[in-house]
Amino acid sequence: MRRLIGSLLLSFTVLMGGASAYAEDGVMNSVSFRKFPQDTKLQVQALDNSDSNLALQKEFERVLLAEGYTLSNNATLILTFETRDEIGAWTTTDRRHVLSFESKGGREGGENAKARLNVFNSQSGGLLNRGRSGTNIATPSSYRIDVSIEDRSTGKRFWQGWSIAKLGAADGQTLTTKMIPALVREIGKTVRQKSFEVY
């Protein structure tokens, strides 16, 4: 009976861990302000024409065409996007200390001398282990895309969406590129805290 309960608890923990990892991959939100007119054509434009954003513009155009949208340089509706990133924080752990000295009192400060031998320390390391020295990520870097679709002539906003994902194994440009399909799939819809997989 104990084995059965233990197995069930382990399975539940693994499932919950997998769900939380998936939820942390990326999150998107969007707001639909008004219904799109029929036979909608779009033009994609980056608000910042850096090389990386121009590459993202091409990816937006590729995904939009794959989803059945029509693109035109003279389209009434214009899709604009901008990207932002927030660099994370790192912490460093000192190298291991095997032997330390301490002395107090007397003229030369040696009356109460002590020597300590650090045999084992799981954090900083000791004689028998290396510890966890090195650099650890305290807060991972995150990347964000903001997208809006507006009427070129009137300035009325039809739809706005944004997605955020934490940097993992990929670089920032690759991560941002992988966020585009999730945004395009939700164009015209209102979505709240929808998770999507980017890795």
Strand partners, 117: 99
Our CA angle for 54, 58, 61, nearest 5°, is: 135
pLDDT in tens, the chain (199 residues): 444 334 433 333 333 333 333 335 789 999 999 998 877 899 999 999 899 999 999 999 999 999 999 999 999 999 999 998 876 444 555 555 555 555 555 555 556 666 565 655 555 556 555 655 555 545 667 889 999 999 998 999 999 999 998 876 567 788 889 999 999 999 999 999 999 887 6
**The two three-digit tokens of residue 175, written as one number:** 């991560």
Domains and CATH numbers, the chain: 24-88+140-195 (3.30.160.670), 89-139 (no CATH)
For 98, which DSSP code?
S
How, if at all, do strands 41-46 and 77-86 pair?
A: parallel
Classify the C-alpha dihedral 124-129-134-138 as positive or negative. Answer: negative
Residue 137's pLDDT is 46
Q: Read off the pTM.
A: 0.62
